[in-house]
Amino acid sequence: MHTLAVIIPAKNEADNIGRVIEDVLRNAPPCEIIVVDDHSWDDTGPKARRYEAVTVLSSSISLGIGGAVQLGVLCALARGCTTFVRMDGDGQHNACYIKNLLSKVNDSVLVVGTRSTADFKASSNFARKSGSWYFKLLFRIFARRTIDDPTSGFICFPREIAENFARYYPLDYPEIESTVLLLRAGYNVVCEEVRMNPRKQGNSSIGLVYSFIYMVAVSFAFFISFFKKNPYEAQA
C-alpha cells in the first residue's frame, strides 16, 4: 500500500492511456495508480487493465470530469493514501514533475502544475488559451490572487483537501470553482511551473462554440462561489 495516489480521469483516451500509465510507472514515486474510465466507448478501460499495477474504475454512466476525479479520490482515501495527484489521461502532463509538486504540498496547500508561456501556447488550442487567460484575470481582480494557469488539471493536494473533494467537487471543469472555495475556506494555492506536451492523439473537446458556453457557465459558477455556503469551511 502506498501513501501517494495518482488519479487519472480518462474518457475515450484509448490512444493515450497506455503512454500516460507508463510515464507514471517510470517517473513518479511509488504510488497507487487509479484510472477512472468515465463511460468511454473506446478501449480506454481494457487498455488500462493491461497494467497489473493499475486500479481501473469504470463507470456505467458519464460522470463528467469532476465526478470521475471524485470517484478516484474516494477510492484512494479508502486505501489510506495521504497525498494525491490528479493528472489527465491525454498525455499532456509529465509524471516527472510529480516530485516537484510533492515538494510544495502540505496540509493546507493545493499545488497547481502551471504551464510556462511557451508550453501553454504549444499544448493548448485557442479556445483553451482564451479561457485560461480570462479566468486568470478574474482571479486577479476578484480573488486578489495570481494563479497563472487556473484551468490546469495537473494538481497535488493533501488528505485534508481530498476529504473536502470527496464531499463536494464540481462535476464539469471543476478547477475554477473548487479553487475559489478552497481560498475562501482559508487554504492556500501554490503554483509550480511544469512542462507540458501537446496532445498527440485525439482532439480536445473544447472548440470555439463550446468554449464560449463554458466561459459563460464557469463565470457564473466563479461568482456564485463567493456567496454560496462553502462545503470546505468546516474542515479548514
Convert the pLDDT of each residue in 85-106 to its tens digit: 999 999 999 999 999 999 999 9
Kindly report the pTM of this predicted structure. Answer: 0.89
Mean pLDDT of 17-37: 98
3-state secondary structure string, the chain? CCCEEEEEEECCCCCCHHHHHHHHHHHCCCCEEEEEECCCCCCHHHHHCCCCCEEEEECCCCCHHHHHHHHHHHHHHHCCCCEEEECCCCCCECHHHHHHHHCCCCCCEEEEEEECHHHHHHHCCHHHHHHHHHHHHHHHHHHCCCCCCCCCCCEEEEHHHHHHHHHCCCCCCCHHHHHHHHHHCCCEEEEEEECECCCCCCCCCCCHHHHHHHHHHHHHHHHHCCCCCCCCHHHC
CATH number at residue 25: 3.90.550.10
pLDDT at 236: 43
The total of structural domains in the chain comes to 1
Domain that holds residue 49: 4-235
pLDDT at 128: 64
Mean pLDDT of 56-60: 96
Convert the pLDDT of each residue in 173-217 to its tens digit: 799 999 999 999 999 999 999 998 876 555 555 555 667 787 888
pLDDT at 221: 86
